[in-house]
Amino acid sequence: MAISKDHVLEQLRRVKGPDLDGNVVDLGLVSEIVIAGSKVFFSITVPAERAEELEPLREAAEKAVLGIDGVEKAGVVLTAAKKAGTPNPQPQPAPQPARQAPPQGGLRKPAGVPGIRSIIAVASGKGGVGKSTTAVNLALALSGLGLKIGILDADIYGPSMPRLMGISGKPTTVDGRTLKPMENYGLKVMSMGFLVEEDTPMIWRGPMVMSALNQMLKEVEWGELDVLVVDMPPGTGDAQLTMAQNVPLAGAVIVSTPQDLALIDARKGLNMFRKVEVPVLGIIENMSYFICPDCGSRHDIFSHGGAGKEAERLGVPFLGEVPLTMDIREKSDAGTPIVVSDPESPHAAVYRDIARTVQERIGATAQSAPSIVFD
């Protein structure tokens, strides 16, 4: 039986609005509903200051829609509408190029990793924005430019690289201590997911996390790499901050979805990197728009263009828009990322364009960064 918008709305009328007042449909909080096969996508508008508090409302809406026969996936996000009369924020001056800290005071420059020319972080202020999928396709696109690329899955609590890269098994050691990275599609890969079972919960405190990350970074036989892409944990907690302070990052790429609430978190991540003097290479707007596979029409389910406006406001480059498509998700889940499984697709072309800009930005930041000499 085909899924209808009326049936979805009927189910959503069972979901109470904020403060248990009315329901989310009759209160006008539900965006346009897009149905693609067995998948349903929509957003719910809530006050920005109550986003975290109202997360159970989003979960209730998702559960309601998943209860419809034939629905296999529900993409539901919270978004915030700008209040009437709210002035647009004034543009901030562009950040100055990264410069070498003076010998006395300032931030200590962490030591580099032998054989690796540049390390870049792919980060997000919150989970669920497609950061890991973006990191994988960006790494593969950089490899397609002729660079030697590795990818480090630094998301200790939710490692996803084994699945995204289609790799199984466990790494071997070179000398009983140094690990050999796993490989596929021409990339060298290391992840905690290779060392523990997929369903094993990682209940670790900060020092344990940093010890594991340092081992996967510095006790792995990476060999000669032009770029190591680090898939950072989501958020801006101790693990992310310590990683940014202890790894010699050439720059950071921020991934966000277009809606206001995701951009608030993306801004926090960007500011964290600025505070530790890591250059921000730019912002990517993921799930930017949806093209219906049946009729070809375009839908801005989660709003559109917010990341580009935020990049302009903050004075950082806007790297590009990645659409919300079934191909990207399905191929990622199958371990065949779209850049390698369908390289001629327009979606793969988006990642290649982003990769070229990132390559140029890495070169620009490298010229202003201090040299690291190994004795």
- 4-42 in b/e form (b: 16+ CB < 10 A) is eeebbbebbeebebbeeeebbbeeebbbebbbbeebbbb
CA 47, 236, 74 angle in degrees (round to 5)?
Answer: 50
Q: Are residues 287 and 147 in the same domain?
A: yes
pLDDT in tens, the chain (375 residues): 688 888 999 999 999 988 877 899 998 888 778 776 787 878 788 887 777 788 888 889 989 999 999 888 887 877 765 443 444 444 444 444 443 333 344 555 666 788 999 999 998 876 778 889 999 999 999 999 999 999 999 877 778 899 999 998 888 888 767 889 999 999 999 988 887 665 555 555 555 666 777 778 888 999 999 999 999 887 766 666 767 777 788 999 988 877 655 566 667 777 788 777 888 898 888 876 666 666 666 666 555 566 677 777 878 888 988 877 777 878 888 899 999 999 998 889 999 999 999 999 887 555 444 433 333
Residue 344 shares a structural domain with residue 271: yes
CATH of the domain at 60: 3.30.300.130
DSSP one-letter code for 130: -
pTM: 0.68
How crowded is the C-beta side of 264, counted as CA atoms within 13 Å? 13
Indicate whether 158 and 286 sit together in one domain: yes
Domain interval for residue 185: 116-368
Of 79, 104, 136, which residue sits at a domain end?
Answer: 79
Statement to judge: residues 181 and 74 lie in one domain: no
- Do residues 241 and 319 share a domain? yes
The CATH number linked to 184 is 3.40.50.300
The Cα–Cα gap between 156 and 303 comes to 31
Q: Are residues 121 and 75 in the same domain?
A: no
Q: Is residue 157 exposed (0-12), middle (13-18) or buried (19+ Cβ within 10 Å)?
A: middle
